[in-house]
Structure 1
């Protein structure tokens, strides 16, 4: 299959400072200090380091008898490889008329698939899914409320931790959305499509967590753990399509779609916040990962926000501040009632 670089892709990538016709089809590597913005190699270090830290933690949990963390780490990658290629190359899958060209990443140190997929994005899925799951698990969300409510809380935690990143990326030209795409990228909150905010930043990770907990954390009978992990990753994208049905009923009416998506986002905040805020279950001992990485991630994003210039389209600063505040409260709750840390 040829590398597609149509007019929309050409315009978006040129806005980021490179030519999508001049790319390596499989993998490209460049020096970190040659990247377009000084935050980019630091972002890579923050996310790739987090994925490695998450894997070490997941292996320790597995050896201690809990397979969920490791299954979630790998299921996140399955979900990545199911969902990302159609987003980058919809014409390969006959989806170009349905989705159109959606967005392009800037050039990072290591890039795959014709410079469409940075290594740090590959790492982001397992790092971020582990961040959200471990926060909710450590706050007793799964022990006290069960898999479904715990996964709703994960969707909320993902929303507030992810959107401090999502609202910033276009501003620093880490990636750029295609403004001409009226199918997927509108309605938007400032420069960020609301469908991405809801379906990717909350629904997908909440659904992935629920599927992994139910499939990989349940009975040992039946299919192998590896197969269950793959099934969980593969079944996650359809849940996003289901959650997108309410807004799709108003295709062509951006105002109505914005209201529907806004109500759904509000429900994620209300339900997730209530689940975490009212949970009184006994908390498990905290791991080194949950005590360190969420705070490092949030602190790193705060530094990037303070250093943000007027490069690309701005995200919503008020919404990002609200997410910072909510994420900070989650960390306060974590540290305020900290138990004696576990070895892992």
Structure 2
């Protein structure tokens, strides 16, 4: 597949330790013990297992409670992945090479698709992260109390916290490599492009959550049941519209920041600050309401999400601790091995937010009575 080995991707692949020309076909398997370092199979196992369990949980929830929301969320996130990522891997094949050069390259993992471009764990991380963030917000009843848009903002914020823990350590551990010269990646925040920090960590999950809750979740809360064909159609629409949302939501930074990386970075940061402030206020207020009134409508407690969020945070905590010696030995943002480092203080803040989000779902009182969880949202804000 050398005809699809763009020069930028080939260069990034060499820096990661593999050859673009020798990357396998549609699917390739490798010995996990022969990967770049031990953290790659650990990350891969954690994410893939979590995603599979999230899918199983979604199926069980559909069968037991006739609630397809999690299943639509899982497949909607996967549909979004296959809309967004292939053009980024093969811009020439999609006729956009004059506008979009290679932005990044993933390292090779145990299972890879598309000639070394798409590791299995990347396919898995989209639905897993979306499930964790969406269910934390739903458990707190934000959608029921404040409406679809407010809930989606909170999902974007929670997802951002979980994702940035992973995003800021990936380059140092050679999970992927960013193209430093690509203007789309500018400006950088430590080792991470600020557009990734804002768009892929916060705005795309916000867009996905808004679509899932609008097209499926709120109807399920109101007692509506869907046929299989209706769910398939809505899942496809959700994947497509979430992709459109990922283009629309960053438009202020895209338009205002034309010609200036600094201005674009300021607007990106401002969007993230606004989202964070709104989400923190809503989540704290909702937690306080639930502590004071156990009968306030909210989602059922999701033990899988609570447990696996802890598993994810523990694994990432261990990976970060093992990376700290090289992190603190770095000079000018680069370790002695030549790997860029992320922002430790930002990661610590994200750990704090993620832990607080999980604790919030654990520290609210149980649902008071069988009708509380399914009560119509007389408290709810309009969608």
Q: TM-score, normalised by structure 1?
A: 0.94
* Cα shift at 1:338: 5.1
Could you tell me how far apart the structure 2 residues matched to 1:100 and 1:30 are? 28
Q: Gaps spanning 5+ residues in structure 1: where? A: none
Tell whether the 8 Å contact from 2:78 to 2:126 is kept in structure 1 after alignment. Answer: yes
Instruction: Return the index of the structure with the highest Cα Rg.
Output: 2
Alignment of 1:238-249 (within 5 A): 238-249=244-255
Shift of 1:224: 1.3
Counterpart position of 1:316: 343
2:33 is the counterpart of 1:42: no
- What is the CA–CA distance in structure 1 between the aligned matches of 2:16 and 2:366, rounded to whole Å? 46
**Distance across 1 between alignment mates of 2:299 and 2:366:** 7
**1:265 and 2:272 correspond:** yes
SS at match of 1:98: coil
Work out the CA distance in 1 between the residues paired with 2:365 and 2:322: 32
Q: Deviations over 1:148-195 (max 9, x none)?
A: 11111000001111000011101100000011212x110110111111
Structure 2 CA distance for aligned equivalents of residues 145 and 177 of structure 1: 38
Could you tell me whether the CA contact under 8 Å between 2:4 and 2:90 is conserved in 1? Answer: yes
Contact 1:216 1:229 in 2 (8 A): no
The two structures, once aligned, show a CA RMSD in angstroms of: 1.8
Aligned positions of 1:110-129 closer than 5 A? 110-129=111-130
Give the whole-Å Cα distance in 2 for the aligned partners of 1:152 and 1:61.
Answer: 24
Is contact 2:66-2:225 (8 Å) kept? no
Query: Residue 189 of structure 1 corresponds to which residue in structure 2?
Result: 189
For 1:248 and 1:143, the matched residues in 2 are separated by 33
State the distance in 1 between where 2:162 and 2:55 align. 19
Write the distance in 2 (CA, Å) between the matches of 1:302 and 1:338.
Answer: 28
Query: C-alpha deviations, 1:221-260, integer Å up to 9, x for none?
Result: 7971110111100111111111221112222211111110
2:258 aligns to what? 251
Checking the alignment, whether the CA contact within 8 Å between 2:168 and 2:191 is kept in structure 1 is yes
Cα deviation, residue 25, structure 1:
2.4
* In 1, Cα distance between equivalents of 2:86 and 2:133: 24
Q: Is the 8 A contact 1:3 1:114 kept in 2?
A: no
Q: Distance in 2 between matches of 1:284 and 1:158?
A: 18
- Alpha-carbon offset, residue 2 of structure 1: 6.1
CA change 1:111–1:3 in 2 (3 A) is: farther
**CA, structure 1 residues 3+143, in 2 after alignment: closer, same or farther (shift >3 Å)?**
farther
Larger mean CA deviation between 7-16 and 78-87 belongs to: 7-16
User: After TM superposition, what 4+ stretches of structure 1 lie above 3 angstroms from structure 2?
Assistant: 219-223, 281-285
Deviations 1:185-226 (A, max 9, x none): 101101111111111111111111111121123255797111
Report what 1:75 is aligned to. 76
Structure 2 partner of 1:285 = 300
Q: Distance in 1 between matches of 2:92 and 2:51?
A: 31
Which residue does 2:88 correspond to in 1? 87
**Counterpart position of 1:301:** 316
Distance in 1 between the 2:185 and 2:191 partners? Answer: 9
Q: Which residue of 2 aligns with 1:208?
A: 208
Task: Tell me the equivalent position of 2:139.
Answer: 138
Taking the aligned partners of 1:20 and 1:37, their CA distance within structure 2 comes to 19
Alignment TM-score, normalising by the size of structure 2: 0.85
Q: Which whole-Å CA distance do the structure 2 matches of 1:3 and 1:123 have between them?
A: 28
- Where structure 2 has 5 or more consecutive residues not aligned to the other structure, the ranges are 290-295, 327-334, 371-383
Q: Tell me, what secondary structure is at the counterpart of 1:104?
A: strand
